[in-house]
């Protein structure tokens, strides 16, 4: 092997250190169906680490639609949307989503990550500026890196900071503000009304990434702009099928001209194979469920309010979350791993979040809810988290207040 590569990869020992401590929490293979309980290494645990907010990954109608599509179309498309990889199902999904999102047109990509890689650099040139929230998802950062435009970052959800960045731009420039609709680790919602006001004042374009807002916020789960009644004011809505929509793939919704431009210029679309029929069909089946029955979203919000109340009653620091994504701030790198390991032993699957996903001072456990969780499961989980934090000497807000 080449020496330079060996030097780079063999000196990377961080995972081994955590493995030696028996605290390695990544790549845990799940051996069962993905409900509120899963089996890992023969051990049954409650799942509080999934993004399947509506709990639909094993819904019979969704699985049947997926299986039927495989029977009709086969397993893969063997080409990109641009050439041989467009099925009538892709077009049907795009039309359905355009109506669902109240936009003129939609383009589906093979993942949500590719949406940001494909859209942001495609619409911006070196004459332009991209303005990002500091907590934007990694795929937005990567998409921006691929662009020749100038990039500016503002403090998380701080509208004065955003305005200062807008003041650094020329009138003539395209200024693309890109924010998560719901922030993926912190669980708070972008301040879209204020972003829209500032975008209008300074002539900026807005793109929201509604990966965590679809199926959660807005009419039938149509996302953050629907939640605020601002569909017309947001120029581009991006999102994924890999969370509430129980599949894989992504989309961007906008006006017809912008979608037409992307269809003919977006490299992550044109040079990558399209979503297989089974995944497209499963998303269509979830849309049927969402449009015919709001009880799932209502149940998700009941669970969310219940869990927020419980965590806050226990004095656990869950930041400013407003959604089913609940950050449990540990603010200590090794204790975050310890807590994850101890919770796993106690029968809970949660995700540790460490740099670069968050800053070094913000390490946390990311606890996420599904509509399919029962209140009892949530009660058990929160109590276990509180007891384990106490056992490991992790301070709750109450402890900090008492110490102050």
For the bound state, the minimum distance from the C-beta of residue 115 to ligand PMP, rounded and expressed in Å, comes to: 7
For the bound state, the minimum distance from the C-beta of residue 140 to ligand PMP, rounded and expressed in Å, comes to: 7
Please give the residue whose beta carbon sits closest to ligand PMP in the complex.
112
From candidates 105, 131, 211, 330, binder to ligand PMP by CB under 6 A:
211
From 105-113, 117-125, 155-163, 188-196, give the range in contact with ligand PMP by CB under 6 A. 105-113
Rounded Cα gap, residues 227 and 25, in angstroms:
35
Rounded Cα gap, residues 130 and 119, in angstroms:
12
Pick between residue 236 and residue 389 the one whose CB is nearest to ligand PMP.
236
Among 50, 144, 184, 282, the one annotated catalytic? 184
Q: Using alpha carbons, list the distances in angstroms from residue 188 to 191, 313, 324.
A: 9, 19, 10
Q: Which residues, at least 6 apart from 73, have a Cβ–Cβ distance to it below 8 Å?
A: 87, 89, 276, 277
Pick between residue 103 and residue 212 the one whose CB is nearest to ligand PMP.
212
Cβ contact 73:277 at 8 Å: yes
Q: Which residues, at least 6 apart from 242, have a Cβ–Cβ distance to it below 8 Å?
A: 51, 111, 112, 211, 248, 249, 250
Nearest partner of 316 among 249, 402, 382, judged by Cα: 382
The answer to whether 184 contacts ligand PMP (rule: CB under 6 A) is yes
From 108-116, 142-150, 226-234, 338-346, give the range in contact with ligand PMP by CB under 6 A. 108-116
From candidates 52, 66, 111, 129, binder to ligand PMP by CB under 6 A:
111
Rounded Cα gap, residues 122 and 130, in angstroms:
12
Question: In the annotation, is 212 catalytic?
Answer: yes
From 158-166, 206-214, 295-303, 349-357, give the range in contact with ligand PMP by CB under 6 A. 206-214
Cis bond upstream, residue 356 (ω within 30): yes
From candidates 215, 250, 324, 352, binder to ligand PMP by CB under 6 A:
250
Rounded Cα gap, residues 148 and 127, in angstroms:
8
Residues 313-372 that bind ligand PMP (CB under 6 A): none
From candidates 52, 124, 139, 244, binder to ligand PMP by CB under 6 A:
139
Pick between residue 184 and residue 372 the one whose CB is nearest to ligand PMP.
184
Q: How many CA atoms lie within 13 A of 341 on its CB side?
A: 14
From 3-11, 110-118, 164-172, 384-392, give the range in contact with ligand PMP by CB under 6 A. 110-118
For the bound state, the minimum distance from the C-beta of residue 97 to ligand PMP, rounded and expressed in Å, comes to: 14
DSSP 245: T
**Tokens in use for 192?**
């879209």
For the bound state, the minimum distance from the C-beta of residue 112 to ligand PMP, rounded and expressed in Å, comes to: 3
Among 137, 175, 227, 243, the one annotated catalytic? 243
Give the pairing of strands 364-368 and 129-133: unpaired
The answer to whether 103 contacts ligand PMP (rule: CB under 6 A) is no
Question: In the annotation, is 243 catalytic?
Answer: yes
- Where does 146-293 have alpha helices with state H? 159-167, 192-202, 224-227, 256-265, 267-270, 277-292
From 188-196, 209-217, 225-233, 305-313, give the range in contact with ligand PMP by CB under 6 A. 209-217
Nearest partner of 325 among 345, 349, 300, judged by Cα: 300
From 20-28, 41-49, 208-216, 282-290, give the range in contact with ligand PMP by CB under 6 A. 208-216
Pick between residue 53 and residue 329 the one whose CB is nearest to ligand PMP.
53
Three-class secondary structure of residue 158 per DSSP: coil
Three-class secondary structure of residue 17 per DSSP: helix
Strand partners, 43: 40
From candidates 59, 103, 137, 175, binder to ligand PMP by CB under 6 A:
137
Pick between residue 244 and residue 377 the one whose CB is nearest to ligand PMP.
244
- Where does 146-274 have alpha helices with state H? 159-167, 192-202, 224-227, 256-265, 267-270
Rounded Cα gap, residues 340 and 342, in angstroms:
6
The answer to whether 165 contacts ligand PMP (rule: CB under 6 A) is no
Pick between residue 139 and residue 351 the one whose CB is nearest to ligand PMP.
139
From candidates 94, 128, 133, 180, binder to ligand PMP by CB under 6 A:
180
Question: In the annotation, is 147 catalytic?
Answer: no
Chain centroid offset of residue 110 CA:
15
Binding site for ligand PMP (CB under 6 A): 111-113, 137, 139, 180, 184, 209, 211-212, 240, 242, 250
Q: Which residues are catalytic?
A: 184, 212, 243
């Amino acid at each position: 092997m080449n020496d330079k590569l060996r030097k780079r990869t063999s000196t990377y020992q961080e995972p081994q250190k955590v493995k030696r401590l028996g605290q390695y929490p990544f790549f845990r293979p799940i051996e069962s169906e993905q409900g509120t309980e899963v089996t890992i290494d023969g051990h049954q645990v409650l799942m509080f680490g999934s993004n399947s907010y509506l709990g639909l990954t094993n819904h019979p109608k969704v699985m049947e639609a997926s299986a039927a599509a495989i029977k009709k179309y086969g397993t893969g498309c063997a080409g990109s949307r641009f050439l041989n990889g467009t099925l009538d199902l892709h077009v049907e999904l795009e039309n359905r989503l355009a109506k669902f999102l109240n936009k003129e047109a939609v383009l589906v990509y093979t993942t949500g990550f590719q949406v940001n890689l494909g859209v942001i650099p495609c619409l911006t040139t070196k004459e332009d500026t991209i303005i990002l929230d500091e907590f934007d998802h990694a795929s937005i950062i990567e998409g921006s890196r691929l662009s020749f435009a100038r990039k500016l970052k503002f403090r998380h959800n701080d509208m004065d900071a955003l305005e200062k960045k807008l003041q650094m731009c020329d009138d003539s420039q395209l200024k693309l503000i890109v924010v998560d609709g719901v922030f993926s680790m912190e669980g708070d919602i972008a301040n879209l009304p204020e972003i829209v006001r500032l975008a209008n004042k300074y002539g900026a374009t807005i793109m929201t990434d509604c990966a965590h807002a679809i199926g959660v916020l807005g009419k039938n789960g149509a996302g953050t702009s629907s939640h605020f009644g601002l569909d017309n004011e947001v120029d581009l809505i991006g999102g994924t099928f890999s969370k509430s929509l129980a599949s894989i793939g992504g989309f961007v919704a906008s006006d017809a001209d912008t979608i037409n431009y992307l269809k003919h210029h977006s490299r992550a679309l044109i040079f990558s194979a399209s979503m297989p029929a089974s995944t497209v069909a499963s998303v269509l089946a979830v849309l049927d469920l969402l449009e015919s029955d709001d009880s799932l979203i209502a149940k998700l919000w009941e669970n969310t309010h219940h869990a927020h109340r419980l965590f806050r009653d226990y004095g656990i620091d869950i930041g400013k979350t407003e959604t089913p994504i609940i950050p449990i701030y540990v603010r200590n790198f090794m204790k975050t791993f310890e807590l994850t390991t101890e919770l796993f032993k106690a029968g809970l699957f949660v995700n540790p979040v460490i740099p670069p996903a968050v800053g070094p001072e913000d390490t946390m456990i990311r606890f996420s809810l599904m509509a399919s969780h029962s209140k009892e499961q949530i009660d058990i989980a929160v109590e276990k988290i509180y007891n384990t934090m106490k056992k490991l000497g992790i301070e709750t807000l109450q402890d900090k207040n008492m110490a102050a």
